[in-house]
Amino acid sequence: MTIIHQDDIVQSVQEALQFISYYHPLDFIQAVGRAWEKEQSPAARDALAQILMNSRMSAEGHRPVCQDTGMVVAFIEVGMGVRWSSELSLEEMIHEGVRRAYTDPDNTLRASMVSPPWGARRNTGDNTPAIVHTRIVPGNRIKIGLAAKGGGSENKAKFTVLNPSDNLVDWVLETVPGMGAGWCPPGMLGLGIGGSSEKAMLLAKEALMEPVNIHELLEKGPDSPLEELRLELFEKVNALGIGAQGLGGLTTVVDVKILDYPTHAASLPVALIPNCAATRHIEFTLDGSGPAEFTPPTPDDYPPVTWQASPDATRVNLDTITPEEVRNWQPGQRLLLTGHILTGRDAAHRRIQELLEKGHPLPQGVDFHNRFIYYVGPVDPVDGEVMGPAGPTTATRMDKFTEMMLGQLGLLGMIGKAERGPQAIESIRKHQATYLVAVGGAAYLVSKAIRKARVVAFEDLGMEAIYEFEVENMPVTVAVDSQGASVHQSGPAKWRITDNIESMGKTP
Cβ contact 440:376 at 8 Å: no
Q: Report the candidate in 372, 361, 485, 508 with the shortest Cα–Cα distance to residue 438.
A: 372
pLDDT by residue (tens digit) across 154-183?
999 999 999 999 999 999 999 999 999 999
How confident is the model at residue 505, as a pLDDT?
45
Residue 102 has pLDDT above 60, yes or no: yes
Residue 487 has pLDDT above 80, yes or no: yes
Distances (CA, A) of 233 to 32, 204, 431, 507: 18, 15, 41, 10
Categorize the per-residue pLDDT at 494 as very low, low, confident or very high, splitting at 50, 70 and 90. very high
Residue 407 has pLDDT above 80, yes or no: yes
How confident is the model at residue 501, as a pLDDT?
59
Q: Report the candidate in 116, 95, 101, 115 with the shortest Cα–Cα distance to residue 69.
A: 101
Residue 506 has pLDDT above 60, yes or no: no
How confident is the model at residue 262, as a pLDDT?
98
Residue 148 three-state SS: strand
DSSP string computed for 339-352? EEEEE--HHHHHHH
How confident is the model at residue 508, as a pLDDT?
38
**Cα pseudo-dihedral 250, 259, 130, 99, rounded to 10:** -60
Burial level of 325, CB count in 10 A (0-12/13-18/19+)?
A: middle
How confident is the model at residue 1, as a pLDDT?
77
Q: Report the candidate in 155, 148, 58, 55 with the shortest Cα–Cα distance to residue 102.
A: 148
Cβ contact 185:110 at 8 Å: no
Residue 13 has pLDDT above 50, yes or no: yes
Strand order in the sheet with 281-286: 131-137, 71-79, 142-149, 281-286
Distances (CA, A) of 282 to 152, 336, 473: 20, 36, 35
What domains can be seen in the chain, in order of their start residue?
Answer: 1-150+281-307 (no CATH), 151-277 (no CATH), 314-492 (3.20.130.10)
Strands 413-416 and 434-437: parallel
Mean pLDDT across the stretch 34-57? 96
Instruction: State how far the Cα of 343 lies from the Cα of 438, in Å rounded to an integer.
Output: 14
Categorize the per-residue pLDDT at 310 as very low, low, confident or very high, splitting at 50, 70 and 90. confident
Instruction: State how far the Cα of 478 lies from the Cα of 484, in Å rounded to an integer.
Output: 11
Instruction: State how far the Cα of 48 lies from the Cα of 244, in Å rounded to an integer.
Output: 7
DSSP string computed for 108-142? ------EESSSTT-EE-SS-PPPEEEEEEESSS-E
Categorize the per-residue pLDDT at 507 as very low, low, confident or very high, splitting at 50, 70 and 90. very low
Phi, psi at 185, each rounded to 5°: -65, 155
pLDDT by residue (tens digit) across 227-275?
999 999 999 999 999 999 999 999 999 999 999 999 999 999 999 999 9
How confident is the model at residue 500, as a pLDDT?
64
Instruction: State how far the Cα of 8 lies from the Cα of 342, in Å rounded to an integer.
Output: 44
Residue 377 has pLDDT above 50, yes or no: yes
Distances (CA, A) of 237 to 163, 185, 229, 249, 387: 22, 12, 12, 11, 37
pLDDT by residue (tens digit) across 437-471?
999 989 999 999 999 999 999 999 989 999 999 99
Q: Average pLDDT over the chain, rounded to whole?
A: 96
Residue 504 has pLDDT above 80, yes or no: no
Instruction: State how far the Cα of 215 lies from the Cα of 208, in Å rounded to an integer.
Output: 16
DSSP string computed for 220-282? H--SSHHHHHHHHHHHHHHTT---GGGS--S-SEEEEEEEEEEE-TT-EEEEEEEE-TT--EE
